[in-house]
Amino acid sequence: MMKTLRLGLMTVSAVVLFAGTALADYELNILHINDLHARIEAINKYDSTCSAEETEKNECFGGIARVKTAIDSRRGELQDANVLVLDAGDQFQGSLFYSMFKSGPIADFMNGIGFDAMAIGNHEFDDGPEELLKFIDAAEFPIISGNTIATQDSILSGKYEPYVIKEMGGEKVAVVSVLATDTDETSSPGDKISFEDEVEYLKKAVQEIESQGVDKIVLLSHVGYARDKEIAAAVERIDVIVGGHSHTLLSSTDEKASGPYPTMVKNPAGVEVPIVQAYAYSKYLGDLKVVFNDEGVVTSAEGAPQLLDSAVVPDAGYAAKVEELGKPLQELKQKVVGSSQDTIVGDRNICRVEECSMGNLVADAQLDRVKDQGITISIANSGGLRASIDSGDVTMGEVLTVLPFQNTVATFQLKGSDIVAALENGVSQIEEIAGRFPQVAGLKYSFDRSKPVGERISDAQVKEGDGFAPIDPEKTYGVVTNNYVRGGGDGYKTFATKAINPYDFGPNLEQAVADYLSANSPYEPYTDGRITDVTPADYTPPATAESPAAPAAPAGTTAAPATPAPTAAAPAAPASSEQAPAAAQVPASQAPAAQAPAAPEPASEAPAQQTPAPAAQAPEPAAEPAPAPAADAAAPAAAEGAATTYVIVQGDSLWKIAVQRYGDGAMWAKIAEANGLHNPNLLIVGQEVELPAN
């Protein structure tokens, strides 16, 4: 499809529906943003807050100061034209900025930019109608929604209009808005707000607007791209749809786009309706030009989203204000959200091969957040867990270090057989310590790494009441994960292709985990055997081509585990090409982790970091040769006598360690015993082993 689109673009960029330009033609320019999700500060390529280093390297995008520059300069260029500046909703939620300041600064910044209208997005209800009311009161522009119905006694009653009518260039243009009708499930509007079906509402609204002598109608919607297309096909006389909610990149030149910009859909009268959306997180400014004939019918629509990369210089005044406001965010990171009675283990070398307590915390927290929505199964990709948390007070900064990606809680339905297929993906690269290893809640499973990929999972059971029952391949279950995995990240393409009713934009994951810790403080980290490794004890993983030659055991010994730890030496998985489209469709922040190769990254997950550790998101270098043990890892034990801890490095075998430590390779068995190592051949780089006293 994209090939055709690109070809189309080379010839003519406008969708010209009628040839020729009559005198009465009316040109309307629409500059639009959507789903900024509190990205007041600039973002990096993973859509999370840009670090100082990334700023220095000109690797940042967006942020409100760039949005200001882009809109100002486009307005300047369009001086004598008719320009509408629109926001399709979801300014709220998604960054520390929002957690700290809520809507106040957002309204100030938007006032300074100047908007003609903003749609109410579902997340505008995240802090209840009270916060939305504050925002509406502070905004110097209309915030609108037509199918959002407030009861008479709601504090929002009479506080917003269904539509606005602007007069520009001697013509009236209406902007009408609708919001997703499941907002009561995805946010917290309370029981005094309800949502009318968008199509039914719009059919009435269009008539009402036209009866006021307005024949140009722009729908500013927050219902998602798919629903926008349905609305276009179902309702007559809407001229343009400017959408949001699905974070969809539309572009006629970008291969990662979900459709052309604009996407043309025929309405019931056969008139093509242009639909636009501009991704999310302040990364793009949508820029559409439509021409109406004197009957108020759109005759051409053209434009493109403008990428707000480092070439767009952030507005100096805004940038200074953002920096000033950003200072107290450090305080928020210090805020204690709860306490833990023990270390919550998030070590990648553990969480990517077996059940770990951080995995259980995150999987449990995700599930807890959505359990009232009929969700019973939780899957957390271990690659999303970036650090451990030590015992004692837990700060928001620590939670952000574990979960730095600003991912969101994502829910969907899935058949039991597809859940098992997803688990198979999860254990398919365990040799490479890949981030796809599934930490779970509401679910138990066993895996056997000696079996071929795709046949490793057994005994998958789902929680039913107080017990567990075998998963029913035909039954449909409610599942929660993060938006990155739901979109197919970390190889979970089953979720991208088979999910029923996916919703990717719940609360931020780090917030859900912080809330869960608060509610369950003091928190007791635990594992409970929900994941069982049933690999036969005598299984020897095949050595791989890149494994260093096994250090030969001295002749005469038979019991020596001669092969070096194959896991340690496993070559990095090449970035799987199949993951690329998934990452593009759901541009969640962890994209690079999806391609995370086996080699443990050195030192990047030091839990001491207080910032949302952008470094932790750096693409892990593929096939990094023999990484040094993590910075906090003990050096190979040299001490004689007392028991010590040793950290496995690439090429290690128990035999080799025993020779180093005791001068006697046969002592390997004692190490294996002391550490409960069922498979002496399976050592993991970075793994800590106890070396017992001689």
Binders in 405-444 for Zn ion, by CB under 5 A: none
Q: Closest distance between Zn ion and the C-beta of residue 480, in Å?
A: 18
Which of the stretches 82-90, 111-119, 300-308, 541-549 binds Zn ion when contact is defined by CB under 5 A?
Answer: 82-90
- Tell me which residue has its CB nearest to Zn ion: 245
DSSP string, 2-24: HHHHHHHHHH-SSEESSSS--TT
* 448 half-sphere exposure, CB direction, 13 A CA radius: 15
For Zn ion, which is the closer residue by CB, 72 or 185? Answer: 185
Q: Closest distance between Zn ion and the C-beta of residue 161, in Å?
A: 20
| Phi–psi pair at 423, nearest 5 degrees | -65, -40
**Residue 127 neighbours by CB under 8 Å, 6+ apart:** 92, 102, 188
Burial class (CB in 10 A: 0-12, 13-18, 19+), 663: exposed
Which of the stretches 121-129, 557-565, 632-640, 656-664 binds Zn ion when contact is defined by CB under 5 A?
Answer: 121-129
Cβ atoms of 482 and 436 within 8 Å: the answer is no
Binders in 321-340 for Zn ion, by CB under 5 A: none
The whole-angstrom separation of Cα 149 and Cα 125 is 13
The helix (run of H) or strand (run of E) holding residue 569 is helix 566-569
Give how far Cα 682 sits from Cα of 322, 451, 539, 596, 679, Å.
50, 15, 9, 21, 6
Pairing state between β 284-292 and 26-33:
antiparallel
Question: Which two tokens mark 599?
Answer: 């080699």
Q: Could you write out the three-class secondary structure of 529-546? A: CCEEECCCCCCCCCCCCC
Contact string 595-614 vs Zn ion (x = CB under 5 A): --------------------
Burial class (CB in 10 A: 0-12, 13-18, 19+), 640: exposed
Q: Closest distance between Zn ion and the C-beta of residue 237, in Å?
A: 26
For Zn ion, which is the closer residue by CB, 122 or 251? Answer: 122
For Zn ion, which is the closer residue by CB, 121 or 564? Answer: 121
For Zn ion, which is the closer residue by CB, 126 or 315? Answer: 126
Q: Closest distance between Zn ion and the C-beta of residue 186, in Å?
A: 7
Q: Closest distance between Zn ion and the C-beta of residue 544, in Å?
A: 45
Cβ atoms of 101 and 46 within 8 Å: the answer is no
- The pairs formed by 350-354 with CB atoms below 8 angstroms and a separation of 24 or more are 350/687, 351/382, 351/385, 351/437, 351/439, 352/382, 352/383, 352/430, 352/433, 352/434, 352/435, 352/437, 353/430, 353/433, 353/437, 353/533, 353/567, 353/684, 354/531, 354/533
Q: Closest distance between Zn ion and the C-beta of residue 88, in Å?
A: 9
The whole-angstrom separation of Cα 1 and Cα 262 is 15
Q: Closest distance between Zn ion and the C-beta of residue 228, in Å?
A: 13
Q: Closest distance between Zn ion and the C-beta of residue 378, in Å?
A: 22
For Zn ion, which is the closer residue by CB, 87 or 239? Answer: 87
Binders in 88-117 for Zn ion, by CB under 5 A: 90
For Zn ion, which is the closer residue by CB, 90 or 287? Answer: 90
In this structure, the number of other CB atoms found within 10 A of the CB of residue 591 comes to 24
177 is a site residue for Zn ion (CB under 5 A): no
For Zn ion, which is the closer residue by CB, 280 or 421? Answer: 280
For Zn ion, which is the closer residue by CB, 183 or 263? Answer: 183
Binders in 224-263 for Zn ion, by CB under 5 A: 245
**Residue 577 neighbours by CB under 8 Å, 6+ apart:** none
For Zn ion, which is the closer residue by CB, 166 or 486? Answer: 486
Q: Closest distance between Zn ion and the C-beta of residue 185, in Å?
A: 12
The whole-angstrom separation of Cα 12 and Cα 7 is 9
The whole-angstrom separation of Cα 202 and Cα 267 is 13
Alpha-helix runs per DSSP H in 146-211: 183-186, 198-210
Q: Closest distance between Zn ion and the C-beta of residue 467, in Å?
A: 37
Q: Closest distance between Zn ion and the C-beta of residue 36, in Å?
A: 11
For Zn ion, which is the closer residue by CB, 185 or 448? Answer: 185
For Zn ion, which is the closer residue by CB, 69 or 177? Answer: 177
Number of residues that bind Zn ion (CB under 5 A): 4
Q: Closest distance between Zn ion and the C-beta of residue 246, in Å?
A: 8
Q: Closest distance between Zn ion and the C-beta of residue 367, in Å?
A: 22
Cβ atoms of 287 and 304 within 8 Å: the answer is yes
The whole-angstrom separation of Cα 433 and Cα 450 is 15
For Zn ion, which is the closer residue by CB, 122 or 595? Answer: 122
Contact string 122-151 vs Zn ion (x = CB under 5 A): x-----------------------------
Q: Name which position in 62, 94, 121, 346 contacts Zn ion (CB under 5 A).
A: 121
Q: Closest distance between Zn ion and the C-beta of residue 168, in Å?
A: 28
For Zn ion, which is the closer residue by CB, 44 or 248? Answer: 248
For Zn ion, which is the closer residue by CB, 456 or 486? Answer: 486
DSSP string, 201-255: HHHHHHHHHHTTT---EEEEEES-HHHHHHHHHH-TT--EEE--SS--BB-SS-T
Binders in 497-556 for Zn ion, by CB under 5 A: none
Helix axes 104-113, 128-138, angle to 10 degrees: 30
Pairing state between β 15-16 and 298-303:
antiparallel
For Zn ion, which is the closer residue by CB, 229 or 245? Answer: 245
Which of the stretches 46-54, 87-95, 189-197, 534-542 binds Zn ion when contact is defined by CB under 5 A?
Answer: 87-95
Buried b (16+ CB within 10 A) or exposed e, 35-58: bbbbbbbbbbbbbbbbbeebbeee
Q: Closest distance between Zn ion and the C-beta of residue 277, in Å?
A: 11
Which of the stretches 119-127, 434-442, 565-573, 679-687 binds Zn ion when contact is defined by CB under 5 A?
Answer: 119-127
Residue numbers at the binding site for Zn ion (CB under 5 A): 90, 121-122, 245
